[in-house]
Structure 1
Amino acid sequence: MPDSARLALPIVLVGPMGAGKSRVGHRLATTVDAPFIDTDLRIVERYGPIDEIFDREGEEYFRIIEREVVAEALREEAVISLGGGAVLHPDTRDDLAGLAVVWLQVSRDAVRPRLQGGNRPLIADGGLDRWSAIAAQRRPLYEAVAGLSIDTSRRSVARIVEAITERFGGT
C-alpha cells in the first residue's frame, strides 16, 4: 500500500478461533507498515499458556486479564488480533465502536484442519461441534462490532489483506 499514513489505525481483527486472525494480522501489519499485536500472545507472555490459565484459574479469571490486555492494545496504533472471546466483554465492544474492525469468518469444513494439534481449552472437550456452538453464540457480537466481514475459508491471505486495505486504507 503506497500511502500507509492514510490507513485508519488501529485495525482490529475479530472472529472465531481458526479464522486466521493471527496469520492475516501479520501480513496486514507488514503491508501497512504497522506493528502487529496478538492479544492472546501478550497474555501468554505475561501470564503463561492460555490452557494453563484456564486449568489453574478458570475462564472467568482469564476473561479479566484478557480484558486488561485488550483495553491496553486498543490504545495502540497497530493491527490487532483479538482472541475469539474478547468480544464477550461489553467494555471491549464499547471500545471497538468507531474503530476499523474486521470480522474474519470461516466455515466449519475449512476450520477443521486449522484446529488440529492446537491447545484450545474451550474446544478440548467437544472438538468441532463445540467450535460450531461457540462460533454461533458469538456471531451476533462479531456482527455488531465489525465494519467489514470477510470469509477466510477459501480466500488467500493476500486477497484478504487487499480487501481490508481497500476498505480502510482509502487508496
Structure 2
Amino acid sequence: MLFLSPEASRPADGWPAAPAPGRGRGDSVTPANAETARDADAPLYPLVFIGPMASGKSKIGRRVARTLRVPFLDTDTLIVSEHGPITEIFAEHGESHFRDLERAAVADALRQQPAVVSLGGGAVLDAATRDALRHTTVISLSTTAEAVRNRTKNAKRPLLADGPDAWQRIYDERRPLYEALASVHFDTSTRPVDAIAADIVKWVRKQS
C-alpha cells in the first residue's frame, strides 16, 4: 500500500513535529518549527531508504537497485566490512562511537551517483545526515512490532536485545524524523518484498 506523504539518543536539536502528509516527491509539508524543508529541486538520485530496524530497507533496496540497474549500498554493511561486526562495536566502544562511524559511512554512500542507499535505522539521529538527506530522494519504510518479531527471531541486533517493546519505543521516538525527511512512504508489514519493490520502482520511474 502506497502512502505519499529507547533508549536511543535524542538528537541535540530535538525532535521535529510530524509533518502533514505530502503528495509526492518534494511535496512534504512541515510546520515552521520542524525540520528544515526538503529541497524541492533535489536530484532523483541517490534513492535513500530510511525506516526502523527490520523494516526491509536492505532487501527491498537491493531489489529496487537491481531493477533500476544502479549500484546498491548498505551503510551497515560498509561499516562491518571496514570495522567489524556492529554488535562488537557496540560492546567494545559504545553507541556513540558507532554513530560516528555511521555518519562517515552515510556521507561516503550519498556521494555515489546514481545509487540506491540503505541506511541503518538510527542514521537519521545525526543532524548532518538529516541535512544531507534533504537533497536526495528519501523512501521511508514502516512496519509493525509483530512483523519485526517474525523477521528477527535469530537476528543479532544490539538495539533489539530487549525485545519488541523496546523496538516500538525506539520507532516511536524516531518516527517524526522519518516522516519529516520522506519523499514517499511505503508500509512493509504484510505485503511480499517483491511487490513492494515493484511499487517503488514504478513510483521512481514516474519521477524521472
TM-score (ref. length: structure 2): 0.76
Corresponding position of 1:23? 59
Matched, 1:50 2:93: no
Report deviation, 1:48: 0.2
> Which runs of 5 or more residues in structure 1 are unaligned?
1-6
Corresponding position of 1:112? 149
Corresponding position of 1:102? 139
Question: Quick check: which one's helix share is greater?
Answer: 1
Report deviation, 1:144: 0.8
**What amino acid is the match of 2:91?**
D
Moved over 3 A (4+): none
Report deviation, 1:158: 2.2
Matched, 1:166 2:202: yes
**What amino acid is the match of 2:199?**
A
Contact 1:100 1:168 in 2 (8 A): no
Matched, 1:39 2:75: yes
Corresponding position of 1:121? 158
Corresponding position of 2:108? 72
Matched, 1:63 2:99: yes
RMSD: 1.3
CA distance in 2, matches of 1:131, 1:116: 13
> Which runs of 5 or more residues in structure 2 are unaligned?
1-42
The DSSP-based 3-state class of the residue aligned with 1:111 is helix
Contact 1:19 1:152 in 2 (8 A): yes
CA distance in 1, matches of 2:56, 2:124: 16
**Percent of pairs with identical residues:** 48
